[in-house]
Amino acid sequence: MSMRSELGETPEVVRSLIEKQRGVIDAVAEAIQARPVDMVLMAARGTSDHAAIYAQYIFGVYNKLPVALAAPSIHSLYGVAPRLRNALVIGVSQSGQSPDVVGVVEEARSQNCLTIAVTNDVKSPLGRAAEFRIDIHAGSERAVAATKTYVAELTALAMLSTALDDDGVARGQLREVPDAIAAALGLEEIVASAAREQAGMRRAVVLGRGFNYATALEWSLKLKEMTYVVADAYSTADFEHGPIAMIDPGFVVHAIAAEGPTLAEVKTVLGRLREAGARLVVASNSDEALAFADVPLRLPAAPEWLSPLSAIIPGQLFAYHLALAKRLDTDRPRNIEKVTRTR
């Protein structure tokens, strides 16, 4: 069971990354500070796309940098090179192999932009294309579904944001993340029981907001790729603008609700879902949010900006145990490969 063993490695992977890459990331931050950077452009696919969405929030909230997601096909299929003046371009890819992501970074470098590869293989095409490389130090990941590499990508981006502000308090909070991840792994028994109870699930919604919108997207992806459930992810704000109409009694909703500015609005949505008869799985560090849940998953205390690093753990565990309950191969889901090379 490669996926489960790799998931269990996550606390040590994050601890090692924080220890080994601090100097590298501080040097990258110095290079950024020395250049006129007005915006960040993130290039990624799949799971790494969700890490890029986390970057939108962390660089926006803490570094006041607007962050856009690249549309790689503009360059790779339409043959157009957008103007990237004063952009910091970051390619995020576990394997570093996807040609369209590499192409965005190569084009940015040709325009004299500062480029960074965040990858588990710094010798990959992405690593070679970028001016700077951040090695996420996750080690081999054999299961098709990414687990520890996703959390390591989030960690690297959080470290870069912190280095840009040289925030000692934030650095201290980062050092506590491995323990928070280990605590989240302690939810496994509750998660496994809920997954077995929901073994017949064919559709679901996953909700989050702010920093944890990325968590909702990744949680949803894990359900889709590992258990073949039709699982849609939404920001709770977008969910209220129409999709909430599909909820009827018994509809399964998974939600991430972290303490912070988004909590009040998420609780309001949970209340509406409770009234509509939805079956709620809620991952939260808030007693008030957990009170709405049929399946409460208590997350460890963490500042909101770091909560996605541990909040995804119950989602990964749920997908794993639901796959077991459905008697599916947890390491090799159908129709997909570990490395996907899109153009």
Distance of CA 213 to the CA centre of its chain: 9
CA 216-275-215 angle, to 5 degrees, is 5
| 267 flagged as catalytic | no
Q: Which of 23, 40, 30 is nearest to 113 (CA)?
A: 40
Number of residues assigned to the chain: 343
Bridge partners of 257, per DSSP, are: 284
- Catalytic residue chosen out of the listed positions 64, 123, 224, 338: 338
Show the tokens assigned to 298. 């208590």
DSSP string, 173-226: HHHTHHHHHHHHHTTHHHHHHHHHHTTT--EEEEEE-GGGHHHHHHHHHHHHHH
Relative orientation angle of helices 22-33 and 148-165, to the nearest 10 degrees: 50
User: How many angstroms separate the CA atoms of 108 and 101, rounded?
Assistant: 11
Matching residue, tokens 């910091």: 88
Q: Which of 164, 139, 158 is nearest to 5 (CA)?
A: 139
Hey, which residues are catalytic here?
Answer: 338
